Chains A and B, each alone.
Chain A
Amino acid sequence: MPTPIDRDQVQQLLEQGAQLVEVLPEDEYEYEHLPGAIDIPLKTLDAESVRALDRGRPVIVYCYDYQ
């Protein structure tokens, strides 16, 4: 089960080499995103689109807020 984390934990995981993934549509990603994040919109999240991710490193996903 995915682990919910807060802002401090995000920063700690990033220091340890985690990957950041925004799952909002591309226009919202272009508007604003966390430094270093890549965009894989939820609607396109499949075996093909996740090839950009390293399976050996933690992955942090986020969207705008608690929606």
Chain B
Amino acid sequence: MYGCDVAVVGAGIVGAACASECARAGLSVIVFDRGPVGGGTTAAAMGHVVVMDDSEAQFALTSYSRRLWRDLAAELPAEVHYEACGTLWVAADEEEMAEARRKEEFCRVRGLRAEILDEAALREAEPNLRPGLRGGLLIPDDAVLYPPSAAMFFLGRAPQNKIEFRAGSEVRALNPDGGVILGDGTRISAGLTVNAAGCGSPDLTAGLPVKKRKGHLVVTHRYPGHIRHQIVELGYLKSAHSVSSDSVAFNVQPRANGQMLIGSSRQYGAEHPGVEFGILRRMLERAAMYLPDLGRLVAIRSWAGFRPATPDKLPFIGPSAGNQKIWLATGHEGLGITSSLATGRLLADMVLNRPSEIPVAPYSPARSLLEGKAHG
């Protein structure tokens, strides 16, 4: 039985964006997820729409996607809590300040707004940061949002009869001829299948170099105005680049309701899904180095989640190397929220043979096979 044009496995924000873009182009889509919409990495994510520049390809994807978010902002329903609060990159010392200047120039040359803040301007922008920080870089067009509601909005945004969502349906395998085989053995055929299962994607596409990278977050009571931007330390670049050891970085977010999210941590090889106190403490310790009043604020919940990471820090978007009927949209690590819209758009462009606004080759699933372990 022919089920649909496109079967999407995974109703996280990336799968939802892919489904939405395909359906809006007229294709019939069924989305499968073992849980609810946005219940995996999307549920655990911070929800930071941020332009990153580790590589030109990462910059191209994140800046394109941020533009799509900005274009969509007026349409986003209230529950998405989209706030263009900007990202404030904080430089603790001269070395980090040099990095701030490099990023500022990088953005400016490419036509994005960026503003260097000296020590006084930083104090004015975020009075609760500790004195003595060197300065910072404000990226005013970055934003924050509540990811599960965004994923839900994507699914609902397509024409009604074009997307069907099957919650609670576990996909056991991808049919090599297109379509999926469900946990109960049911086969549903499709023109092509998109593996957007995030951390579960290697279970469905053997050999896919996507690894789980664990992270922790803490949410506080409501403290409206305690911080005004998503604040990230530039030291983050030093710690986040390590692909072997556990690391923490100062990364806090003001929620629209006045709550604050406090991150972040990165762990490879951690399989236990629960909160780990050792790393949680290190993370909060790091955050308190930047926000000295943090210890007096009240935390109401902490949680841990897994990010789907690739060796070269770029996602897989496009047909898989071995099978043109099985496509991939996975491996976004910590940038899935940011890159979801661009991923959906690029995937639909390729499916429909439309021209894309940015080159798709850097995200081709074939690349890791070509380049082997060069990035690993």
The answer to whether A binds B is: no
A residues contacting B by CB (< 8 A) are none
B residues contacting A by CB (< 8 A) are none
